[in-house]
C-alpha cells in the first residue's frame, strides 16, 4: 500500500512538473491574441470591443500626445467579448497601476457593446461575462502570466511545442494592440478576400441580430465605468469608422444610438468623437476592422483630436 501511494505521488509530481514546464514554455512565445493585454500595469487604457482591439495603436497615440500630459503606459485593453458590465469594470480597476495623476481613457462604443442574448436578465448576463478571459483570471498584470494561461488558454498545452503557431498576418504587441497586416507570405489579404470577409460579417450580423437586444444592465455599467474612470483622469468616447453597409446595419439595429451616447457625454461632461461616417477615409479589411496602416492613421487622427480638446490639456485634479 505504501509503495502504491509513493508511486502515485511520484506520478502526480511528474504530471504536475510537466504541466508547469509546458505553461512556462508557452508563456515565452506567442500565446493568443489577448495574452499581451494581461502582462503589465496600465497608466491609461483603451477600452472596447474588437474594433478598438485592432484599430487603435497605443504607441501612435503616445507619439502624438506629450508625455507630460498623461500617465502611461497606455494599454489596449479591448477585445471581442469585452462588453460593458461588472466583469469588465472590475478588470479595468485591477488593470490600472496605483500612480495618481492625469490618465487618459479612450472608451470606444458601438451598439454591440450594449447587447446580450434575448431573455437574459442581469444575473444571466453577469454569469455569461464571468466566462470570458477577464472573468476567469484574477491576475491582469504579471509577466509571465501563468494565471491567464492556466485559466484562459483555449488550446492544449502541447501547442507550446509547436513553432510558428500564430497567424502570420497578426502581430500581438506588448502594449495590447493586435495589428493585422494585409501582406504575408502565406495569406496575403487582397480585395477578393476582403470582400468575402465583409459579406460573412454582414451575414453574421443578420443572423445574430434577432438573438440579441440592448440591455439596461450594459447601459448601467457603461455609465458606472465612465464615472469611475473620470475620477482617475480624462475620458473620451469614440465611435470608430466602419464601412457604409456595416454602419447602416448598426443604425437600423439601434436608431437612437448616437443620441444616447451624446446625451451621456453631455451629462458627464466628456467629449464624444464620432468617426462612424469616415469609413471611406479609414479602410477596413472586412467592413468592420481597421488594418495596420489605417489603424495607425486613425490613431494619429484620434490623438490630434484629443489634443485639440480642452479635456486633454487641463491638469487633472482629484
Of 98, 102, 93, 51, the residue nearest 76 (C-alpha): 51
pLDDT digits (tens, 9 = 90+) for 206-264: 998 889 999 999 999 999 999 999 999 999 999 999 999 999 999 988 999 999 999 99
Query: How far, in Å, CA of 135 to CA of 107, rounded?
Result: 19
- The answer, yes or no, to whether residue 12 has pLDDT greater than 70, is no
- The answer, yes or no, to whether residue 286 has pLDDT greater than 50, is yes
Q: Which three cell numbers stand for residue 123?
A: 444575473
**Among the ranges 147-156, 159-168, 222-231, 275-284, which has the highest mean pLDDT value?**
222-231
Is residue 246 included in any domain, yes or no?
Answer: yes
Q: What is the CATH number of the domain that holds 95?
A: 3.40.50.1110
Q: Measured in whole angstroms, how far is the alpha carbon of residue 129 from the centre of its chain?
A: 14
Average pLDDT value over all residues in the chain: 86
Query: How far, in Å, CA of 280 to CA of 241, rounded?
Result: 8
- The answer, yes or no, to whether residue 193 has pLDDT greater than 60, is yes
Higher per-residue confidence, 183 vs 150: 183
Is residue 318 included in any domain, yes or no?
Answer: no
**Crossing angle (nearest 10°) for helices 86-95 and 122-129:** 40
- The answer, yes or no, to whether residue 161 has pLDDT greater than 90, is no
Is residue 283 included in any domain, yes or no?
Answer: yes
What pLDDT is recorded for position 280? 87
Is residue 197 included in any domain, yes or no?
Answer: yes
What is the domain range of residue 52? 2-313
Q: For the whole model, what pTM was predicted? A: 0.89
Higher per-residue confidence, 163 vs 303: 303
Higher per-residue confidence, 310 vs 139: 139
Q: Which three cell numbers stand for residue 49?
A: 470591443
The mean per-residue pLDDT over the stretch 39-60 comes to 97
| Confidence grade of residue 66 (pLDDT, cut at 50, 70, 90) | confident
At residue 69, φ and ψ (nearest 5 deg) are: -90, -10
| Confidence grade of residue 69 (pLDDT, cut at 50, 70, 90) | confident
pLDDT digits (tens, 9 = 90+) for 15-47: 445 445 565 556 556 778 898 999 999 999 999
Bridge-based pairing state of the strands 44-47 and 103-108: parallel
What pLDDT is recorded for position 191? 92
Higher per-residue confidence, 184 vs 202: 202
Residues for the chain: how many in total?
318
| Number of domains comprising the chain | 1
What pLDDT is recorded for position 197? 94
- The answer, yes or no, to whether residue 306 has pLDDT greater than 60, is yes
What pLDDT is recorded for position 21? 58
DSSP sequence for the chain: -HHHHHHHHHHHHHHHHHHHHHHHHHHTS---TTGGGGSS-BSEEEESSHHHHHH--HHHHHHHS-GGGS-S-EEE---TT--SSHHHHHHHHHHB-S--S-EEEEEE--GGGGEEETT--HHHHHHHHTTSHHHH-S-SS-SS-HHHHHHH--S-GGGGGSSS-S-TTEEE-TTS-EEEPS--SS----HHHHHHHHHHHHHHHHHHGGGEEE-HHHHHHHHHHHHHHHTTEEEEEEE----HHHHHHHHHH-TTHHHHHHHHHHHHT--EEE-TT-TTTS-BSSSS-B-HHHHHHHHHHHHHHHHHSHHHHSPP--
On whether the CB atoms of residues 169 and 178 are closer than 8 A, the answer is no
Amino acid at each position: 500500500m505504501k509503495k502504491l501511494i509513493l508511486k502515485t505521488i511520484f506520478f502526480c509530481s511528474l504530471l504536475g512538473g510537466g504541466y508547469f514546464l509546458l505553461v512556462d514554455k508557452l508563456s515565452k512565445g506567442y500565446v493568443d491574441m489577448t495574452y499581451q493585454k494581461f502582462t503589465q500595469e496600465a497608466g491609461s487604457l483603451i477600452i472596447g470591443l474588437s474594433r478598438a482591439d485592432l484599430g487603435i495603436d497605443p504607441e501612435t497615440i503616445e507619439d502624438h500626445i506629450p508625455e507630460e500630459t498623461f500617465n502611461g503606459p497606455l494599454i489596449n485593453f479591448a477585445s471581442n467579448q469585452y462588453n460593458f458590465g461588472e466583469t469588465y469594470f472590475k478588470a479595468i480597476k485591477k488593470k490600472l497601476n496605483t500612480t495618481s495623476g492625469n490618465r487618459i481613457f479612450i472608451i470606444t462604443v458601438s451598439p454591440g457593446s450594449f447587447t446580450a442574448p434575448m431573455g437574459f436578465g442581469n444575473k444571466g448576463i453577469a454569469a455569461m461575462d464571468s466566462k470570458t478571459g477577464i472573468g476567469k483570471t484574477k491576475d491582469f498584470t504579471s509577466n509571465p502570466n501563468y494565471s491567464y494561461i492556466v485559466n484562459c488558454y483555449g488550446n492544449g498545452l502541447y501547442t507550446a511545442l509547436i513553432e510558428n503557431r500564430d497567424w502570420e498576418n497578426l502581430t500581438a504587441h506588448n502594449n495590447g494592440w493586435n495589428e493585422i497586416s494585409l501582406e504575408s507570405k502565406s495569406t496575403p489579404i487582397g480585395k477578393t478576400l476582403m470582400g468575402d470577409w465583409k459579406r460573412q460579417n454582414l451575414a453574421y450580423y443578420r443572423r445574430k441580430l434577432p438573438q440579441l437586444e440592448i440591455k439596461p444592465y450594459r447601459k448601467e455599467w457603461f455609465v458606472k465605468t465612465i464615472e469611475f474612470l473620470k475620477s482617475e483622469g480624462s475620458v473620451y468616447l469614440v465611435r470608430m469608422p466602419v464601412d457604409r453597409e456595416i454602419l447602416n446595419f448598426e443604425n437600423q439595429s439601434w436608431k437612437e444610438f448616437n443620441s444616447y451616447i451624446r446625451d451621456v457625454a453631455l451629462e458627464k461632461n466628456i467629449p464624444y468623437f464620432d468617426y462612424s461616417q469616415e469609413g471611406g477615409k479609414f479602410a477596413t479589411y472586412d467592413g468592420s476592422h481597421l488594418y495596420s496602416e489605417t489603424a495607425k492613421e486613425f490613431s494619429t487622427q484620434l490623438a490630434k483630436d484629443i489634443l485639440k480638446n480642452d479635456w486633454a490639456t487641463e491638469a487633472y485634479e482629484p
